[in-house]
Structure 1
Amino acid sequence: MITRKGIGKNSLSQMVPTPHLGTNAQRGRSMFQYSQRQSGWTAAFSILTLIFHNTVRHLRKSHGNPLLGLANNLMQNVILVLTFYFMFSILGLKSSAIRGDFMLYIMSGIFLFICHNKSISSVFGTEGPASPMMQHAPMNTAIAIVSSALSVLYTQVLSIFVILFAYDVGWHPVTFQHPLSAFGMLLLAWFSGCSIGMVFLAVKPWFPKLTGIVSNVYTRANMITSGKMFVANQTPGYLLAMFSWNPLFHTIDQARGFTFVNYTPHHSNWQYAVYFSLTLFTLGLLGEFFTRKRVSASWSAGR
């Protein structure tokens, strides 16, 4: 029997065991957090699966039916190619083109131009770290950026192959001097566009309106500064200085050199486009990491 005299603070602490707060807190967290150890191959496969599904999601954004979305992108390429073909024919500029298939000369510039500009717009329009999609645990901005870039590459490559196949079967046989190298210039135009889009994406949360204006100005200026409407070897030196800064100018000129037997580029090199793209891609990654740690959903609340 325990008497009242024998009960004190010390005795109460000995009789009643105190709960372990750390254990209860850990049990509470385990109810809401799910953790699973994955091997390197399993983690890589799960990331690739997320990229695949998010790429499909981006492809279906423009249209619910993927075939109609592809047909829409296909018609954009065809209309732009036909527009420049008739413009060159009416103005009598066919003689200034490269000796060879004139339609292939037009397509070699238009395809890279569209791929470059679309990759900029797609990466620039990627969901930011404060978007609702990023609230899901497996999702992150890196997967969103890669998915946006791959969706553009898929639609453009498929559209180009369909157009070239139709042109080869219906009108004139298509021949490339170095087809793999010409395709590599298409990939370089796509990568350079993704690098520029990364820089715009990193700056967008800080200056959304200004970044959108600068992005539109750059894509519109590419209509002239990309060099798709003229031959670099036939351009005066004082005009080349206005275009040589643009990586798309170098990729288009090099692509024509790999396409036509009678053309050898003298005022462009693909190494510049590679170094330029890698530099901007690195700056874009650093800026996106810096912004992701500081961005908040309240930034755009008063805008």
Structure 2
Amino acid sequence: MFKQRQNRNMFQAAFTTLALIYHQTVYNLRTEHRNAVVGLLLTMVQSALFVVVFLAMYALIGLKTSPIRGDFLLYIMSGIFIFMLHVQTVAAVAGSHSISSGIIKHEPLNAAVLISGAALSVLYRQTIGCIVILSIYHLGFQEITIYDPLGAGALFLLAWFSGCCVGLVFLGIRPWSPQACKVLTTLYQRINMFASGKFFVANTLPGFILPWFAWNPLFHLIDQERGFLFINYSPHRTSLLYPLWFSIAALMIGLLINFTTRKYESISWSATQ
């Protein structure tokens, strides 16, 4: 009980870290709801509600067919799933840990484990929810065909990775100004409700409107995702490499901010919060 665990080699250290990440991921999943199955159902209901709301909006404006030759509901879900994965990962990573929290005082635990657990819990929930909703639609309503499943899955993971990198930047800002971090995270999520481009197809945008969306990596991710889902759509106005380079740049900035913050962060900072 009072013996300190020591790792004898790199393999044992890696296994210990992976075990900690696994348990932290399970802990994050169970904190959403006491019953893990109910937590997954709530995630699926949330995604389904987004789909229903968008169907109602398109019905109100008179748009009942997909701008892309293909399944209309798959066109809607392609934007919703990428959007929800990205913004929820940003929020989860941005609020993953604080030096004043009690759990960080346990020695085997560190910031990397807590960040990884928060990000993986979102990826797990959204992946299961996406697969279940698509399966129900495919088996119960209408058969769908995905042009390039591997490419679509890779873009799904890139959207998650991009959310982790952006969330890491907000996490570095959080100890300095928790309220500003909360406002910036919420503002980023709200802006992406429209700026993500899930309402429309990038190829149909006029040239003078495109710069308002081209800065957003999520805009490129959703449009490129539709290129992998539909055989009849080829993205011409977005780039596949832009979100990757944006994510790498955000990752480097986030790491610099977090490493600098750890040199000055103190538990006393939370005393006035």
**TM-score of the superposed pair, with normalisation by structure 2:** 0.97
CA deviation digits over 1:143-175, x for unaligned, max 9? Answer: 000110000000000000000000001111121
Instruction: Give the equivalent residue in structure 2 for 1:45.
Output: 15
Measured in 1, the distance between the counterparts of 2:21 and 2:141 equals: 38
Of residues 232, 237, 240, the one that matches 2:202 is 232
Give the superposition deviation at 1:211. 1.4
Of residues 82, 92, 103, the one that matches 1:133 is 103
Instruction: Give the equivalent residue in structure 1 for 2:270.
Output: 300
Question: Is the contact made by 1:124 and 1:200 (CA closer than 8 Å) also made in structure 2?
Answer: yes
Measured in 2, the distance between the counterparts of 1:299 and 1:106 equals: 44
Question: Is the contact made by 1:129 and 1:140 (CA closer than 8 Å) also made in structure 2?
Answer: no
Measured in 1, the distance between the counterparts of 2:269 and 2:84 equals: 33
Which amino acid in 2 is paired with 1:61? T
Q: Percent identity among equivalent residues?
A: 46
Matches of residues 13-162 of structure 1 in structure 2 within 5 Å? 34=4, 36-95=6-65, 97-162=67-132
Higher RCO (CA-CA < 8 Å; seq separation 6+): 2
C-alpha spacing 1:111/1:37, structure 2 compared with 1 (3 Å): closer
Question: Following TM superposition, where does structure 1 have runs of at least 4 consecutive aligned residues deviating by more than 4 angstroms?
Answer: none
Measured in 2, the distance between the counterparts of 1:39 and 1:130 equals: 31
Which amino acid in 2 is paired with 1:247? P
Measured in 2, the distance between the counterparts of 1:35 and 1:147 equals: 22
CA deviation digits over 1:97-137, x for unaligned, max 9? Answer: 21110000000000000000100110011112332111111
* Most deviating of 291-300 and 197-206: 291-300
C-alpha spacing 1:76/1:35, structure 2 compared with 1 (3 Å): closer
Measured in 2, the distance between the counterparts of 1:49 and 1:297 equals: 27
Instruction: Give the equivalent residue in structure 2 for 1:177.
Output: 147
Measured in 1, the distance between the counterparts of 2:101 and 2:255 equals: 18
Instruction: Give the equivalent residue in structure 2 for 1:269.
Output: 239
Which amino acid in 2 is paired with 1:97? P
Which runs of 5 or more structure 2 residues have no equivalent in the other structure?
A: none
Measured in 2, the distance between the counterparts of 1:202 and 1:300 equals: 15
Which runs of 5 or more structure 1 residues have no equivalent in the other structure?
A: 1-31
Structure 2 residue matching 1:214: 3-state secondary structure: helix
Which amino acid in 2 is paired with 1:280? A
Give the superposition deviation at 1:95. 4.8
Q: For this pair of structures, how many residues does the alignment match? A: 272
Q: CA RMSD in A?
A: 1.3
Measured in 2, the distance between the counterparts of 1:231 and 1:117 equals: 20
Of residues 164, 182, 207, the one that matches 2:177 is 207
Measured in 2, the distance between the counterparts of 1:159 and 1:179 equals: 17
Residues 1:190 and 2:160 are matched in the alignment: yes
Structure 2 residue matching 1:56: 3-state secondary structure: helix
**TM-score of the superposed pair, with normalisation by structure 1:** 0.87
